[in-house]
Structure 1
Amino acid sequence: MAGIESMIVEEKQPPTKQIDREKTCPLLLRVFCSTGRHHSPQEFQHGNVPSNELQIYTWQDATLRELTALVRDVNPETRRKGTYFDFALVSPDPYNQGYRMREIGVTCSGQRNADDGLSLAQAKFTIGDYMDINITPPNRVPQQRRRPY
């Protein structure tokens, strides 16, 4: 059986291209937070969006850890250690009228997490997508965590 080789392919995220934030114009990221659940994709249909919008100017190399810090700055109740932030992208569905939601990662206040360094570019964020964040306080049991990839 000469010539048989093991082919193990490890999927790695491509490195995030460094952006010069002094010279690159930021993008507007429209963020919608809720406690204990994600918004429904139907809440984004027909030009509507949920009422609790947070607008963040950032760059494609922004990480989930950075976005967590920005949300914590404006929502004092999310600063408690053990608060989970479950991130999802909401984007137009190319096959149907409406939107689809795709979970991209989870961070936790006061703890390191595997998804902390995930950038918007690595999550395949496209300008025009919305960010939906399910915030779970430390006194609640978080929903089962699953990696999208």
Structure 2
Amino acid sequence: MRHHGSNIQTTGPQPINRERVCPLLLRVFLKMNAFHSASEFKSRTSLPESDEIKLYTWRNATLKEISELIKEVNVPARHRDSKMTFAFVSPDSHGVYKLSAPLGCVHAIKKGDDDQKTLDSLNFNFQYLAVNVESNEPVVLQSDSNTTTSITDSTMIDDGDETTLSTTTTTTTTSTATTSSADVDVDTDSINS
């Protein structure tokens, strides 16, 4: 895009200042070793909610960032040999839900080409996100005890005029039913299938 009266040209999406822009709700549906069938998504009120987590994030969130949030609440996803494959689920023009082609794959410990794909670059338009968690780790149900995890995330923000360092500390308390945090809210009834 070229601005009138200047030599400034911009290409690609504009950076998102996470300090100033409100996060959006991303509804994520996890399943072990397979995607949910599109037929399980009948309407906005008839979904596989037992496998749902709700993430508050930004359009510039990468698949790697999303996978790290999933690992906070899904034990098999933490296994060193696990990987997560992502797809969108959305209704077609007739209201029938369809599963997209795989959007990317993120491995637990090794870097990959899809790690830095953002929701924005994948043309996110408030679809549901289906995640296939592949792991050899046995499925373990969470105990009744609470677990607290803190994660500090530092991000360089370049808004054109200046570059700043944004540091966010996320504290997550996990119980059998609910996980919540200051910057990322994860709400779950049952994560493991």
User: Alpha carbons of 1:107 and 1:16: their partners in 2 closer, same or farther (altered >3 Å)?
Assistant: farther
Displacement of 1:106 in angstroms is: 0.4
Q: What is the rounded CA distance, in whole Å, between the counterparts of 1:79 and 1:91 in structure 2? A: 28
Displacement of 1:57 in angstroms is: 0.1
Q: What is the rounded CA distance, in whole Å, between the counterparts of 2:40 and 2:12 in structure 1? A: 33
Matched, 1:48 2:46: yes
- Which residue identity is paired with 1:42? S
Q: What is the rounded CA distance, in whole Å, between the counterparts of 2:119 and 2:32 in structure 1? A: 22
Q: What is the rounded CA distance, in whole Å, between the counterparts of 1:130 and 1:82 in structure 2? A: 26
- Tell me the alpha carbon deviations over residues 46-80 of structure 1, each in whole angstroms, 9 at most, x when there is no partner: 33111211000000000000000000011122111
Aligned twin of 2:95: 97
Count residues in correspondence. Answer: 125
User: Alpha carbons of 1:111 and 1:138: their partners in 2 closer, same or farther (altered >3 Å)?
Assistant: farther
Determine if contact 2:76/2:82 at 8 Å carries over to the other structure: no
**Structure 2 residue matching 1:45: 3-state secondary structure:** coil
**Structure 1 residue matching 2:133: 3-state secondary structure:** strand
**Structure 2 residue matching 1:110: 3-state secondary structure:** coil
Where do residues 57-68 of structure 1 align in structure 2 (5 Å cutoff)? 57-68=56-67
**Structure 1 residue matching 2:104: 3-state secondary structure:** strand
- Which residue identity is paired with 1:62? A
Runs of 4+ in structure 1 deviating by more than 3 angstroms, as ranges, are none
Displacement of 1:16 in angstroms is: 4.2
User: Alpha carbons of 1:92 and 1:75: their partners in 2 closer, same or farther (altered >3 Å)?
Assistant: same
Aligned twin of 2:18: 21
- Tell me the alpha carbon deviations over residues 3-44 of structure 1, each in whole angstroms, 9 at most, x when there is no partner: xxxxxxxxxxx7443100011010000001001110011111
Aligned twin of 1:132: 130
The percentage of aligned residue pairs carrying the same residue is 35
TM-score calculated relative to the size of structure 2: 0.61
Q: What stretches of structure 2 of length at least 5 have no aligned partner?
A: 1-10, 138-193
Q: What is the rounded CA distance, in whole Å, between the counterparts of 1:18 and 1:132 in structure 2? A: 26
Q: What stretches of structure 1 of length at least 5 have no aligned partner?
A: 1-13, 140-149
**Structure 1 residue matching 2:42: 3-state secondary structure:** helix
Determine if contact 1:81/1:138 at 8 Å carries over to the other structure: no
Aligned twin of 1:80: 79
- Which residue identity is paired with 1:35? M
Q: What is the rounded CA distance, in whole Å, between the counterparts of 2:80 and 2:109 in structure 1? A: 5
**Structure 2 residue matching 1:115: 3-state secondary structure:** coil
Displacement of 1:99 in angstroms is: 1.0
